[in-house]
Amino acid sequence: MGYMALYRAWRPQRFAEVVGQEQTVTALRNAVRDNRLTHAYLFSGPRGTGKTSIAKIVAKAVNCEQLQDGEPCNNCSCCQDINNGNFMDVIEIDAASNRGIDEIRDLREKVRVLPAQGKKKVYIIDEVHMLTMEAFNALLKTIEEPPESVMFILATTEPQKIPATIRSRCQGYFFRRLTIEELEGRLKQVAEANNITVEPDALDIIARRANGGLRDALSTLDQVHSYRGDHIAKADVLDVLGLVDDVFLAQLIDAAWQGDAGQVLQMLAAALQQGKEAQQIARETTLYLRDLLFYHTTGQAAELAVVTEASISNLQQQKKAGTSRILQALRILSETTDKLRFSEGQRFILEMAFLEITALFAKEEPAAATAGKKEGAKVSPAQSKGTREPAEARDAMWSKILAGVKERKIPTHALLCQGKLLGIKEDTVYIGYRKGYKFHKEKMEEKANRDILTEVLQEVVGRPLEVQFIFLDDDQYNDIVVKKAIELFGQDIVEIKE
């Protein structure tokens, strides 16, 4: 027999061999032992967490000739045929490629035929959410009242797409993502059995990047083993997956934190020269900033996605950046990742994003920009026309407004954050939108969203204010109202009264 992929070779053959999913495994094994299995099950959860594997174990258990305390024996002819894929009464159907009503009608006809080899005919329908609505309707009656000798096991990664009429006829089990410890434990076991030496850091990266899926973790180990051989180091995993070292990411954010744009550009150029993809660099940095944010808010208890012990000390220094700026940097990189999917000038887009983050980190904290101001400082037209605060004051006020709106309603915040605070004059706040954000502007003009904004403005500014939304045209303020606003309080200024 030819080489078998690790995730196939290490597919669990008994309930006791399943990693994680303790509640599901215990419930099903007890049901098998006590002969209390129902006619239809719905297994849902992320990919690679054991849905199909457990479905096959159940299929073996109901047909096993020498059942042992709810476990299939794996020695009788039925168990061995199922393990080898030769058992006629276990039918696996891929709903992604057999999703129409004709296929389901054919299934309904075959359901009536008695089992040919075993006691029960088991239909395992994978990715069942891909069936059409007509196919679901055709399946409905069969799932509700199948023949005594038939069992259905439906598996899906998207249970929300399953009609309620189908869900209500099945006993449902949700498969959780595996923990890093569970993944590392099975990876060590597989590596030792195959005489593969894997460095702890390499093992840690494979487990973290599997996103809770054991199949993905084993596939990665298999891939790296094919590339490097029997000794796998951290660098090998990074190379195969196209990942960026967390130490590199820490140094990159350090350079941005220090305002060293030249160093940032040099590091990006070096990574791209090594064959790293621009989109991957942006995605990895997003995960690093996510870790920084979590570390900033929860400290040592944070579950980190990419940061290892080698760069944990950097987090302790970088958390001084503050939650607000880390969140802004995350938004910049999230938007950049989306842009990189559809753009050819990827290097330029990536560099601009990191220069923007460098400029962001170089700014003083918003709190520092308003240091010395009284709480609830008011905007006053009586302020001397010649006295103008720096742009940081406007940014600080805008950050407070956005934060207040977000606390009340996230969708309203999503609409508002695409705008720009131009300034405040007398009893009117001017907020500008570019022409491409017509939808956002119109939605913000609706009463419900406007009321939320005016409520927040009164808290931040200390008095009731009207809001006027206006269009910007690529930052050239052509609208007459905008021109008037600029004449009144300047292009980048918010006047703040002590």
Domain CATH for 407: 3.30.300.180
Cβ atoms < 10 Å from Cβ of 498? 9
Of 128, 158, 174, which marks where a domain is finished?
174
Cβ atoms < 10 Å from Cβ of 469? 19
Domain CATH for 199: 1.10.8.60
Among 126, 130, 202, residue whose Cα is nearest residue 210: 202
- Please check whether residues 117 and 39 belong to one and the same domain: yes
What was the pLDDT predicted at 392? 64
Q: Is residue 379 part of a domain?
A: no
- In order, the DSSP letters of 331-351 are HHHHHHHHHHHT-S-HHHHHH
Hey, which bits of 22-149 come out as E strands? Answer: 40-44, 90-94, 121-126
Residue ranges making up the domain that contains 104 = 6-174
What was the pLDDT predicted at 490? 52
Q: Is residue 86 part of a domain?
A: yes
What was the pLDDT predicted at 472? 76
Of 145, 174, 203, which marks where a domain is finished?
174
- Please check whether residues 42 and 166 belong to one and the same domain: yes
- Distance between CA 193 and CA 216 in Å, rounded? 19
Residue 430 near residue 424, CB atoms below 8 Å: yes
Q: Is residue 338 part of a domain?
A: yes
- Please check whether residues 170 and 289 belong to one and the same domain: no
- Distance between CA 90 and CA 115 in Å, rounded? 9
- Please check whether residues 118 and 10 belong to one and the same domain: yes
Contacts of 332 (CB under 8 A, 6+ apart): 353, 356, 357, 360
- Please check whether residues 136 and 206 belong to one and the same domain: no
**Burial of 379 per CB tally in 10 Å (0-12, 13-18, 19+):** buried
- Distance between CA 260 and CA 254 in Å, rounded? 9
- Please check whether residues 29 and 162 belong to one and the same domain: yes
- Please check whether residues 31 and 166 belong to one and the same domain: yes
- Please check whether residues 299 and 447 belong to one and the same domain: no
Q: Is residue 256 part of a domain?
A: yes
- Please check whether residues 198 and 319 belong to one and the same domain: no
Q: Is residue 279 part of a domain?
A: yes
Domain CATH for 159: 3.40.50.300
In the chain, the number of structural domains is 4
Contacts of 110 (CB under 8 A, 6+ apart): none
Q: Is residue 348 part of a domain?
A: yes
- Please check whether residues 234 and 279 belong to one and the same domain: no
Task: Provide the pairing of β-strand 428-434 with 466-472.
Answer: parallel
Of 124, 159, 174, which marks where a domain is finished?
174
Q: Is residue 368 part of a domain?
A: no
In order along its 498 residues, the chain shows pLDDT tens digits of 578 899 999 999 999 999 999 999 999 999 999 999 999 999 999 999 999 999 999 999 999 999 999 999 999 999 999 999 899 999 999 998 888 888 898 998 899 899 988 899 999 999 999 999 999 999 998 898 889 999 999 999 999 999 999 999 999 999 999 999 999 999 999 999 999 999 999 999 999 889 899 999 999 999 999 998 999 999 999 989 888 889 999 999 999 988 898 999 999 999 999 888 999 999 999 999 999 988 888 876 677 888 888 888 888 888 777 788 889 999 999 889 888 887 777 888 999 999 999 988 876 554 434 444 434 444 444 333 333 344 667 777 888 899 889 888 888 988 898 888 888 777 788 888 887 788 888 889 999 999 999 989 888 887 888 898 888 764 444 444 555 555 555 554 444 333
- Please check whether residues 161 and 18 belong to one and the same domain: yes
Residue 252 near residue 281, CB atoms below 8 Å: no
- Please check whether residues 167 and 201 belong to one and the same domain: no
Q: Is residue 271 part of a domain?
A: yes
Domain CATH for 321: 1.20.272.10
Contacts of 117 (CB under 8 A, 6+ apart): 63, 78, 81, 87, 88, 89
For the record, the structure tokens of 111 come out as 């359901």
